[in-house]
Structure 1
Amino acid sequence: MQLLTIPPGGRAFAHKHTTHETAIYALSGVSHVWHGEQLEHHSIVQPGDFFYIPADVPHLPYNPSRTESVTAIIARTDPNEQESVVLLPELEGLHPA
């Protein structure tokens, strides 16, 4: 498990975790997530929400707020989770968040 903070206006790179699932529990702030093979789905994650990302699903989380950070608890099914991260630069331009 890890505590994730996305600063105001921050975002991740489009990526996927090839071998494990990710479960997210939002603590504070409102984050947005593009997800799907071509980042075609969009979800808003608010405090108290649980968000699930299956293995091998591209996603791009971001914080649209200019003033408030996003904080969440992240749990993954692989203790070596960073080893299976695949960056997807070809999807970056789809949603410049």
Structure 2
Amino acid sequence: MVENTNAEIATTSSTKAIVGTLPSLGELKASLGENLTDLGKVQISTVLFQDAHQAILTQENNEEIKVPLSVTNKDNQEFALSSIEYTPQSLRIGDSLV
């Protein structure tokens, strides 16, 4: 999955709730169209802040997905994955998306 492909992704593995109740995949497909992809659980395994501005997400089956990122707080090394719908705006390397 690369830029502008929609996915259902909910929360990070941290203890604070970042995203509230989300629609089901079926509700999203009914609302936004059938070409949505459910990535399942992925971990942000690599973040490239220099030049590429890219995150590498690793799925449970060890497949990697490369997506663009936007740096939201350089000092805290926080970023957003704006090309994936329903992701938090302050992610850090090692966060899990469910």
TM over 0.5: no
Task: Name the TM-score, length of structure 2 as normaliser.
Answer: 0.23
Larger radius of gyration: 2
Which one scores higher on RCO, CA 8 angstroms, separation ≥ 6? 1
With normalisation by structure 1, the TM-score equals 0.24
